[in-house]
Amino acid sequence: MIYFPYFRGRQYDLLALKNIAQQHILPPNIIPIIEPVRDIRALPQTVAAFVEHDQPLVVIANPTVSDYALTQQKLHDWRPYADNPQLIVGHILTPTIIPANLQPAAEHRTLLVGRQYDELVAAQHAGWLNDPSYLLVPPEARIRQLITRPTISLFDHAWLPEHERSYADITDGFFSDDWVLATLNGYHGVSDYTIGGAHYSEHGYPARAVTLHLTYFQGDQLRIHRFVSDDREDFRHPKEKFFQAVAKLAAWLPDHPDVQTPAALALANYHTTQHFPGLGVVKRLSLEHHLQTMAAYFKLHYPE
């Protein structure tokens, strides 16, 4: 069983991955995917951290959710590391892709993300889908019937509240058990967009509430608990809202010892110190906690 957590290459996503690489806690069957979205220094630094610590990583060579791919001259390029066997070059299946991109070189692996059924049909008829080392597809019955080779299921489990709703409406709930269903449905592994979700916005958007997200296991089921600030009337006072949310996390965590990862404890410590690190750091620690949680589960249940 392989797990491919899928990240858009924002600043704090990359910093979370870089820290995880330096902690060297990921087993070989957890392989993060980065789809670059910005030309920032953190991108090659993160790739370098994985390469230097002999840990596999996927970088998408043709990102589709931002204008990053249109920038001809990159100031912070990850491609000098492309020859390292730990780096897996990935592609998204689009009408402009060429077969040569999908064929692995000696000692190198490739990955293809196919999100649309019609594009997968065309690629299958052209005989392209057997070339990539890994093929990520939506977990749809018609795609399972189309493709006979081993595939990885890619699904977005994150819930994004709309309109007048907030995370306070569902503070605790089911997140995923894809690894349980994967074997039943014939998948070789699973992939998701972690707690960040597949939605991408170039500039982000303000939120009325500050919410801290912690994933945790209950048996083989991954659940998510959300700690939401009480103040949700307007977009002001993020610092005060953070302290409301982190106070709930600090009160909840002692009763859940299995959730006490280094990242979760670091978050709870901000309640003790009454220090506001900024919402970017909060996001980084939440992502680190998710990866630390998944690493512990896979080491126990799917040892390589």
Q: Could you tell me if 30 and 298 are in contact, meaning their C-beta atoms sit under 8 angstroms apart? A: yes
Q: If you average pLDDT over residues 276-304, what whole number do you get?
A: 96
Query: What are the tens digits of pLDDT across the range 47-97?
Result: 999 999 999 999 999 999 888 877 778 899 999 999 999 999 999 999 888
Which tokens go with 157? 């489990």
| Residue 68: per-residue pLDDT | 80
Show the tokens assigned to 109. 């692996």
Average pLDDT over residues 21-43: 96
More confident residue, 202 or 275: 275
CA neighbor of 30 nearest in space, from 9, 10, 50: 50
Q: What is the pLDDT of residue 205?
A: 66
- Average pLDDT estimate for 247-272: 98
> Quick one: pLDDT band at residue 163, thresholds 50, 70, 90?
low
Residue with the bigger pLDDT between 73 and 194: it is: 194
pLDDT in tens, 213-227: 999 999 999 999 999
pLDDT for 204 equals 64
Mean pLDDT of 147-151: 94
Q: Which two tokens stand for residue 260?
A: 């006490």
Q: Give the total residue count for the chain.
A: 304
Reported confidence tier of residue 144, pLDDT bands at 50, 70, 90 = very high
Q: Please, which residues bridge with residue 134 across strands?
A: 111
Average pLDDT over residues 129-156: 95
Distance in angstroms (rounded) separating the CA atoms of residues 2 and 151: 11
Helices 279-301 & 238-252 angle (0-180, nearest 10): 30
Cβ neighbors of 5 (< 8 A, separation 6 or more) are 30, 32, 33, 191, 192, 193, 194, 290, 291, 294
User: Which tokens in the block code for residue 44?
Assistant: 């090659």
Of 69-83, 169-183, 248-262, 271-285, where does mean pLDDT reach its minimum?
Answer: 69-83
pLDDT at 255 over 80: yes
Output the pLDDT for position 125: 93
Angle, alpha carbons 4-9-11 (nearest 5°): 130
Q: DSSP E strands: which ranges in 79-133?
A: 87-92, 110-113
- Could you tell me how far CA 120 lies from the centroid of its own chain? 23
Question: Which DSSP string do the residues of 141-159 spell out, in sequence order?
Answer: HHHHHH--S--EEEE----
**Residue 99 CB neighbour total at 10 angstroms:** 11
